[in-house]
């Protein structure tokens, strides 16, 4: 199974990109033995003045056919890290070729896109900048495969 992260906006070089690259490298290294082969980030344009509808159309075009769609949204379900790991393993075990996590722009995701999602998760009731949400998602992906691999990275 592959993981894709579809996001609005381009990430420039800097600390967030360094963290994302580090966590995704760790994720791929650990996940390979678990049947989770790689993670890619697909960035869609966030032109000034573009509306959420335009962003949603670009995000939908970026999602591979047959992918499990998971939105990141403050209205989504709160999961513990072990619950997230279990979800990832269930999608893999049920034959999903790709799980696509979708992160909207500054104004979030329109309800029509959220309605197409197979799942929606939240990192809490607070709203996070979408660049930090990327970092947090990548860390949780690495944590999830570490949990599945029995690594001591995640402590209860």
Buried-state track 18-56, b at ≥16 Cβ within 10 A, e below 16: ebbeebbebbbebbeebebeebebbebebeeebebebbb
Look up residue 141 and give its two tokens. Answer: 């992906």
Indicate if the pLDDT at residue 96 is higher than 90.
yes
pLDDT at 89 over 70: yes
> What pLDDT digit, counting tens, does each position of 98-118 carry?
999 999 988 889 999 999 999
Q: How far is CA 55 from CA 9, 29, 69, 74, in A?
A: 10, 32, 16, 18
What is d(CA 57, CA 63) in angstroms, rounded to the nearest whole number? 10
Tokens of 90: 């269930």
pLDDT at 103: 95
Which two tokens mark 63?
Answer: 């999602």
Which tens digits make up the pLDDT trace of 104-153? 988 889 999 999 999 999 999 888 888 899 999 999 999 999 999 999 88
pLDDT at 91: 98
What structural domains does the chain harbor?
A: 2-149 (3.40.1280.10)
70 token code pair:
């998971």
Say whether pLDDT at 76 is over 70: yes
The pLDDT value recorded for residue 153 is 85
What pLDDT score does 50 carry? 64
Taking only the tens place, the pLDDT of each residue in 39-75 is: 999 999 866 666 888 899 999 999 999 999 999 998 9
């Amino acid at each position: 199974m592959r993981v894709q992260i579809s996001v609005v906006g381009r990430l420039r070089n800097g600390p967030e990109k360094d963290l994302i690259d580090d966590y995704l490298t760790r994720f791929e290294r650990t996940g390979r033995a678990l049947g989770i082969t790689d993670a890619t980030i697909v960035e869609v344009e966030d032109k000034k003045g573009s509306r959420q509808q335009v962003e949603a159309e670009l995000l939908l075009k970026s999602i591979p056919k047959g992918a499990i769609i998971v939105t990141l949204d403050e209205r989504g379900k709160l999961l513990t890290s072990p619950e997230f790991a279990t979800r990832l393993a269930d999608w893999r075990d049920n034959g999903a070729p790709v799980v696509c996590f979708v992160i909207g722009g500054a104004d979030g995701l329109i309800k029509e896109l959220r309605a197409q999602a197979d799942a929606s998760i939240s990192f809490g009731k607070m709203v996070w900048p979408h660049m930090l949400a990327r970092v947090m998602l990548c860390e949780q992906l690495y944590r999830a495969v570490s949990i599945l691999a029995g690594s001591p990275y995640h402590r209860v």
